[in-house]
A and B are shown apart, each in its own frame.
Chain A
Amino acid sequence: MPEAVLPRTTLKTCLLAFLAPLLLFPLVGAVCGDAAYYRYLLAKAVPSLDESDRIKAAVTEFNNRFMDIYASQGDKRGIGAVPATVGMRHSLVTDSGSLWVGGKVLVYDIASLDFRSVQQDGPLSATVLVKEEWNYQYKDGKTYKEVGQVHGTGSLMRYRMVRQGGAWLVQKCEPVRETAKGVNKGD
């Protein structure tokens, strides 16, 4: 080996020894279950890679499934497909179940979901504000005949989202007051 090449080879080896762990770190993370963290870092650098669309899709899917549970007379067979945490699914079952016991079924229909903001608070959590408009009507649980008129309701809702097993799930859904200045603090 020519003598002039020796220092260059040593330098290359040194650089490789330092740079390889640095570059391998996020790759190892992606393989061993920390992908969400490095994806979050990447989205900070490249805004087009953020997960807003996936989060919005989860909220829309949640509301579609929510509608289905009520429209199917409280049939809870599809509850496993609702993109929500176990606690949230439990509250859906409690609500639709107690309606069924009361002999009535509440039928909801989405009029509009207007996404006001999607904010990713961290790699595993996000907050979504949605202005929702719904139509609803009570139906008899046995005959499925309409009870009363179709009504409309609207409210601003805040969804707390968590990322579990690679999917975005609704953890909490609560109403928010809208003021002229914006959203009320402490709501």
Chain B
Amino acid sequence: MTSLLSKKLIPMVTIGLALSLLFWSLVLSATGAVKPGWPVLDLTSVRFFGLLLALGLLASLVTSLLERSRSQLCLCLAGLFLLLATMYAYLFQFEGALSLAEGESYEPFPTSFSSGHKGALAPFPQVSFTLTRVEPDGKKGRAVIVQKGVGTEIDGSWREIGSSEIRFKGAALAPLVVVSSKEKGELERSYVKADLNQGEQVFEFPTLPYQFLLRQEKAKGEGKESFHLGVRRGKLSLFEGSADLGQKISVQGVEVSIEDRRKFALLEIRTRRGLVAMQAAAALFAVAALAAMIRIKGGKQG
């Protein structure tokens, strides 16, 4: 009895580890504690249980060899393959969102991305391209990128670019904000990637102690664009009112103006490595599990 228990205990604990890993991952994702997908593997507890599961599978593999249990051996090998393939895919995956203005080139640096998820061993996508047009000829949901002199139109579906994939998420308008003072000249001149199509946007510059609120106002007449500008400092509102394109607004010793607008594209880039191997491992594991179940059922009936 004791021998039977010790033989079965390791596989049972391994199954228990796998089930608890699956259960808690589902609970964490379903309740919104972590985003579904790879972020669940960022948790130390999930990684720790993954490691215990790998050790459990190795121990079960050894017991299956000692017992000469072919179905258990297949299941353990398939489980280990699935675990390794998942780890590889997690470590090398990359997903990131970025915005590029017309004429701007992509650079593989962390600062290029506004959000995303990167595996520990994944490099930033090593591709080079320039965004040349956003919504060319009024075509909504499209942009043109140029790679080594060759133009490619991208849209909402993933398109291969080097060893990564890219897609167009949306277009937006960035205002050119200029802040200057009489004594020091121009203090700031930047296109702010704050999408005015989404209503009022709040932004600030790291070098200035002001917070700006900007939204587009309905056009007063032909060719005259107008904005609603708010300038704040700390808890104080320093200015609140209309500002036409190019008009200089005096605020506490500085002048603020919106001098231009520029289209920019919201893009997504991803790199997925080892995904096919992971899917193959999952299929192999399912087949091994099914075969083992049929064998156990057949054994009981026999």
Contacts and interface: CB of A to CB of B under 8 A. Distances in A.
Given A17-B16, A21-B20, A186-B200, A40 B235 contact: no
B20 A22 contact: yes
B44 A132 contact: no
Chain B contact patch, size range: 35 or more
A28 B45 contact: yes
Contacts of B232: 175
Interface stretch (A30-38, A49-57, A75-83): A30-38
Interface stretch (A89-97, A139-147, A162-170): A89-97
Contacts of A174: 202, 211
B12 A94 contact: no
Contacts of A134: 235
- Per DSSP, are chain A's interface residues mostly helix, strand or loop, or mixed? helix
Given A106-B234, A155-B237, A175-B213, A186 B43 contact: no
A1 B24 contact: no
Chain A contact patch, size range: 35 or more
Given A155-B235, A174-B211, A177-B200, A22 B48 contact: no
Interface string B140-168: 00000000000000000000000000000
Given A34-B43, A108-B235, A185-B199, A40 B33 contact: yes
A6 B12 contact: no
Interface string B30-53: 011110000000011100110010
Given A13-B9, A175-B213, A19 B16 contact: yes
Interface of B: 1, 5, 9, 12-13, 15-17, 19-21, 23-24, 27-28, 31-34, 43-45, 48-49, 52, 198-202, 204, 206-209, 211, 213, 230, 232-237
Q: Taking each of A108, A185, A186, which has the highest tally of chain B beta carbons within 10 Å of its own beta carbon? A: A186
Given A98-B209, A175-B213, A187-B202, A22 B28 contact: no
A87 to B, nearest CB: 8
B24 A26 contact: yes
Contacts of B200: 177, 184, 186-187
Contacts of B44: 29, 32-34
Contacts of B209: 91, 94-95, 98-99
Nearest to B233: A95
